[in-house]
Amino acid sequence: MKRGVVLLAGGIGSRFQGQKPKQFLPLAGRPVLDYSLARFLDEDTLVCVVCHPDWKEELFSLPHWDEQILVADGGKTRQESVYQGLLCLEAHHIDVVAIHDGARPLFSRTLLERGWKKLVETQAAVPVLPMTQTLASVKEGVVHHYLDRSSIVTIQTPQFFRFQEIWQAHRRARERGEREATDDSQLLQKEGISVDTIQGEPWNIKITTPEDMILAEAYVKQGVGI
């Protein structure tokens, strides 16, 4: 099966409040995005990076940049950016695709292998971790009720899909006027397609705040996920 990747690097990092988007900030001497790019280029995959036009020069200067990589302009929302990435890959006869947030630099090769292998028997697979903390629903600053954490997980990327299924799900979402989905598997489930899970990784964190960068630095120093 021909593999493709949509690597999202279109965010401007408003919550991080840095001078440049978080995916281009240095992590142990390398830009955050370069870790994901290097991991995907280790495989036989066609990569499309979705990037804001203002930051393409930064993209092209990444240590692992390659002229074979495709580039698409990011949209106003994550969903629109993924759509542009899928549109970029659509003409290349992709069978299966991984969609990944560029701000998650530390996923392992093992996780990739697990995801691709799962697609042999299913149409979609997302990495998850079990919830270990007590959860509660809060209304107006008061605990309303407690939730059963045994059935709740946190979802990570990369997420793995049969290409035509996720491509059609995105197209139909646009036809319905939906633009704000924060997770691609949500769109697939709306089409009545089951989404399977695979084991995620605790170090596969999404860098959103400066504190996340400190944690990621610690993981890199331990050689975890790289």
105, 208 in Cβ contact below 8 A? no
Around Cβ 131, how many Cβ atoms within 10 Å? 15
**What predicted TM-score, i.e. pTM, was given to this entire model?**
0.94
Given a contact cutoff of 8 angstroms between Cβ atoms, the answer to whether 61 and 51 are in contact is: no
- List the pLDDT tens digit at each of the 226 positions of the chain: 899 999 999 876 555 555 789 999 999 999 999 999 999 998 889 999 999 999 999 999 999 999 999 999 999 999 999 999 999 999 999 999 999 999 999 999 999 999 999 999 999 999 999 998 898 999 988 998 988 888 899 999 999 999 999 999 999 999 999 888 889 999 999 999 999 999 999 999 999 999 999 999 999 999 886 6
3-class secondary-structure state, position 173: helix
Give residue 140's pLDDT.
87
Question: Quick one: tokens of 71?
Answer: 């580039």
Structural domains of the chain in order of their starting residue, each with its CATH number:
3-126+155-221 (3.90.550.10)
Whole-angstrom Cα distance, residue 46 to residue 190? 27
Say what the pLDDT of residue 223 is.
86
pLDDT value, residue 226 = 63
